[in-house]
Structure 1
């Protein structure tokens, strides 16, 4: 498999910054679908999407620990960090753009593309270069600056791991020049998404990358990891195939219990809604603007937490609960423009 070769520490930091954007970019997608489910319905679907969203937050934290370990400085509040949806992902898949939409077969199809294993890569799809500006682009963006792209998130992280190996062979322990005090440990982290690791050396760096890969697309295409946890791709696939996977099942052939899905038990939110879609002076517009302000505050708190104030993660949890309530407030309300759609968060945060 031909992958982009990371040759310098600056290139490694650039890729880890893109990894931060990548992990964060999935979270609004999953949360939008999650909270579009009418409460009390689609319990199995709600649990599946929520579990993946929680693990993406874990992955974001692990990447920030990795970046800090090699002397970088995570910044989740920089212009352009949050994508203008629909957007291409920063690891460079060019066959789809990911958008904010309700829980639906189309949404799950997008999630499957996001989490797809490298083993699904077509043989003719070797590493190519594409014209891109920055790490995240809106769909249809045409400005040019060459960037490598990868078929899957797993391929992207494999390139990061190979770069880490090469740089460690060249630099030794000096590669991990970051201040250990900036690491976020499990004592500061509120999540049920798996064990958080601090990164201070090559062993812990490899463990962090392995955990991200295992929870995402799985280990070499396996459905379950060593702890019996199912990879994201196969979790989402259960919603399409209508059955749960069991240990020993073959790909695409789950034999567990039935997964019940009601695609109609969702709020009819506007896909990829923008503030400009909501009437001026309306309650939904004010709620959407309030959501964006609190989300920007949330990202600023995370940035401080990942730069030496880990106790602020507790405050960030409070912001998440406020955002959840605002999300439901928006999704229950018609936009008021005569359309069939309800409102939804727009995630228009510090757009470049």
Structure 2
């Protein structure tokens, strides 16, 4: 019996499917990073609770992407990173995850936090209509991979034993690496790495939206975004109450979290501001800053690709170069791009310039306030 459109039926999910699914997982984990980074960069002050919360999630998303790369490398595949580009705005996430969700690069707002919470949501908090797809959550996608790994355990063990051309990266930084070790079952290691991704994102089932002692009972990504949305830290209610979509707000009445000062960037349309720039007398200067950011982003992606796929002796320097470019992206965005205001006349004409996307732009940007440009995250190597 065929599965949902574009989804491989379970009986055909062999080792080759697992490798393909892990490459999709790399794209999936990467797709969250521009979204979270754009919101983080929009904060005027970069050492307050909101900034630190988003940054902590971003750091763990990097760990998750690295774990996915290392799993694929262990199975004999080559992680493809250099040409990844999520292409926002988009419907859903890579791998047909959360296909009901419309995602766009935008500044921090309650509306964008709702998007982030939907990205990280556990199944039990979704409405029935949201569950009516093959992969309504990131967790469901990874569960499918876990099931396939367990089903193909013998082939997985053989693949790890035989190795492959790609590197294992980041073991000295605490990243999950998968290499043959006496007395250690690589199937267990892979399943544990996938569990890490699921638990840090959605929470541990027994703890609702929190994590277990394995992760020091920290809040899940969902929980950290919920704290920002509700403006207060997570706090267990005095009487036993299950976390549901209806009761959720009761759990966020702890220490208040002040709403930060946000630079009101224009949500990035599909033409990467092309129509707006055509209306901007300062376009050459703005485009120079946007292109510089995109060049740094591209260099970061290229360096990460080389860390996994280049000569092993260059793996560590390549990872270091990626970190350098990550810092360059923050500087270019926060201190250059976000200082350029979109001309009010162009803002007034957004409905004409973007008839198909105007409602989306208006939903994620406050058009009644001064509007500024934001980073586009264009991977120049993917063009």
TM range (shorter): 0.7 to 0.9
Map residues 249-260 of structure 1 onto 2, 5 A cutoff. Answer: 251=243, 252=248, 253-260=251-258
Conservation of the 8 A alpha-carbon contact between 1:44 and 1:259: yes
Question: For the residues of structure 1 that align with 2:300 and 2:108, how far apart are their CA atoms?
Answer: 24
Conservation of the 8 A alpha-carbon contact between 1:112 and 1:237: yes
Compute the displacement of 1:39 (Å): 1.5
Match of 2:297 in 1: 295
Which of the two has greater helix per residue?
Answer: 2
- Please, what is the CA RMSD of the aligned residues? 2.4
Conservation of the 8 A alpha-carbon contact between 1:224 and 1:231: yes
64-73 or 279-288, larger mean C-alpha shift = 279-288
SS at match of 1:183: coil
Compute the displacement of 1:225 (Å): 2.3
SS at match of 2:198: helix
Conservation of the 8 A alpha-carbon contact between 1:84 and 1:351: no
Question: For the residues of structure 2 that align with 1:272 and 1:17, how far apart are their CA atoms?
Answer: 26
Match of 1:204 in 2: 189
Question: For the residues of structure 1 that align with 2:123 and 2:71, how far apart are their CA atoms?
Answer: 23
Map residues 1-352 of structure 1 onto 2, 5 A cutoff. Answer: 5=10, 7-39=13-45, 43-78=48-83, 81-87=84-90, 88-92=92-96, 93-123=98-128, 128=133, 149-169=134-154, 171=155, 173-176=157-160, 177-179=162-164, 182-187=167-172, 189=173, 195-200=174-179, 201-220=186-205, 221-226=208-213, 227-246=216-235, 251=243, 252=248, 253-262=251-260, 265-273=261-269, 274-276=272-274, 277-278=276-277, 279=280, 282-307=284-309, 308=312, 309-311=314-316, 312-328=318-334, 329-336=336-343, 338=345, 339=347, 340-349=370-379, 350-351=381-382
Which runs of 5 or more residues in structure 2 are unaligned? Answer: 180-185, 348-369
Conservation of the 8 A alpha-carbon contact between 1:102 and 1:267: yes
Conservation of the 8 A alpha-carbon contact between 2:106 and 2:267: yes
User: Given the superposition, is the C-alpha separation of residues 40 and 69 from structure 1 closer, same or farther in structure 2, using an over 3 Å criterion?
Assistant: closer
SS at match of 1:18: helix
Match of 1:139 in 2: none
Aligned length: 319
Question: For the residues of structure 1 that align with 2:373 and 2:128, how far apart are their CA atoms?
Answer: 42
Question: For the residues of structure 1 that align with 2:130 and 2:119, how far apart are their CA atoms?
Answer: 17
Which runs of 5 or more residues in structure 1 are unaligned? Answer: 129-148, 190-194
User: Given the superposition, is the C-alpha separation of residues 323 and 167 from structure 1 closer, same or farther in structure 2, using an over 3 Å criterion?
Assistant: same
Question: For the residues of structure 2 that align with 1:156 and 1:335, how far apart are their CA atoms?
Answer: 39
Conservation of the 8 A alpha-carbon contact between 2:76 and 2:165: no
Q: Deviation digits for residues 77-120 of structure 1, max 9, x if unmatched?
A: 22xx2111112201321211211000101110100010000222
Question: For the residues of structure 2 that align with 1:9 and 1:65, how far apart are their CA atoms?
Answer: 15
Question: For the residues of structure 2 that align with 1:40 and 1:31, how far apart are their CA atoms?
Answer: 12
User: Given the superposition, is the C-alpha separation of residues 336 and 316 from structure 1 closer, same or farther in structure 2, using an over 3 Å criterion?
Assistant: same
Question: For the residues of structure 2 that align with 1:125 and 1:333, how far apart are their CA atoms?
Answer: 38
Match of 1:145 in 2: none
Compute the displacement of 1:324 (Å): 0.8
Q: Deviation digits for residues 138-193 of structure 1, max 9, x if unmatched?
A: xxxxxxxxxxx401000110001111111114x25213243497111332x4xxxx
Normalization by structure 1: what TM-score? Answer: 0.83
Conservation of the 8 A alpha-carbon contact between 1:67 and 1:73: yes
Normalization by structure 2: what TM-score? Answer: 0.77
Conservation of the 8 A alpha-carbon contact between 2:76 and 2:166: no
User: Given the superposition, is the C-alpha separation of residues 335 and 254 from structure 1 closer, same or farther in structure 2, using an over 3 Å criterion?
Assistant: closer
